[in-house]
């Protein structure tokens, strides 16, 4: 018995079966969706629990000396930035590896941001004294 054209099974590739191409833009949609939901939860939590948060922070600041904490953490953060910077420079000179260089650059930027925030907090706390 001869098979007709209509009786053959249809075979589609994964892209054609999905009816579109899933590009690299999907990660941006997921990242923005996650960030938006986190911001929404924080806003809702602040709306409903702001008074309790202010009261808790008031009690915590009475027990914890922020100036001591900042004065202790600032040199540590600056030292961490210096170490990561030295590792990045040695990576460029001794054995250049682009993957390690990119990771060290990201770490340096994050640590520099943290150190800058701590230095600014130290200036703020010193001006308030």
Residues 43 and 75 in one domain: no
Between 13 and 102, residue with greater pLDDT: 102
Residue 53 belongs to some domain of the structure: yes
Q: What is the mean pLDDT of the chain?
A: 79
Residue 127 belongs to some domain of the structure: yes
d(CA 71, CA 125) in angstroms, rounded, equals 10
Between 111 and 5, residue with greater pLDDT: 111
Between 60 and 126, residue with greater pLDDT: 126
Contact 77, 111 (CB under 8 A): yes
Residues 53 and 90 in one domain: no
Residues 43 and 96 in one domain: no
Structure tokens at 111: 């640590």
Structure tokens at 16: 């054609």
Tell me the per-residue pLDDT of 79-95, one tens digit each, with 9 for 90 and over: 999 999 888 888 888 88
The reported pLDDT for the residue numbered 26 is: 65
Residues 30 and 53 in one domain: yes
Contact 87, 104 (CB under 8 A): yes
Residue 115 belongs to some domain of the structure: yes
Residues 29 and 44 in one domain: yes
Residues 71 and 50 in one domain: no
Residue 28 belongs to some domain of the structure: yes
The domain boundary, picked from 11, 32, 64, lies at 64
Residue 18 has pLDDT above 80, yes or no: no
Residues 56 and 102 in one domain: no
d(CA 89, CA 97) in angstroms, rounded, equals 11
Please give the tally of structural domains in the chain: 2
Query: Residue 73: which residues within 8 A CB-CB, separation 6 or more?
Result: 118
Tell me the per-residue pLDDT of 39-60, one tens digit each, with 9 for 90 and over: 888 888 888 888 887 887 777 6
Between 129 and 57, residue with greater pLDDT: 57
Model pTM above 0.75: no
Q: What is the span of the domain harbouring residue 43?
A: 23-64
Residues 42 and 80 in one domain: no
Tell me the per-residue pLDDT of 106-115, one tens digit each, with 9 for 90 and over: 898 999 999 9
Residues comprising the chain, all counted: 129
Between 54 and 21, residue with greater pLDDT: 54
Residue listed under structure tokens 């941001």: 113
d(CA 42, CA 37) in angstroms, rounded, equals 9
């Amino acid at each position: 018995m001869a098979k007709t054209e209509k009786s053959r099974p249809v075979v589609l590739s994964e892209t054609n079966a999905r009816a579109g191409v899933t590009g690299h833009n999907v990660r941006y949609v997921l990242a923005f969706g996650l960030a938006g939901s986190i911001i929404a939860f924080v806003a809702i939590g602040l709306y409903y629990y702001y008074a309790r948060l202010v009261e808790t922070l008031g009690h915590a600041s009475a027990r914890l000396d922020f100036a001591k904490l900042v004065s202790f953490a600032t040199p540590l953060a600056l030292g961490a930035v210096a170490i990561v910077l030295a590792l990045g420079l040695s990576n460029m000179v001794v054995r250049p590896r682009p993957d390690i260089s990119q990771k060290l650059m990201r770490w340096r930027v994050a640590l520099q941001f943290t150190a800058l925030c701590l230095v600014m907090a130290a200036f703020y706390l010193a001006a308030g004294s």
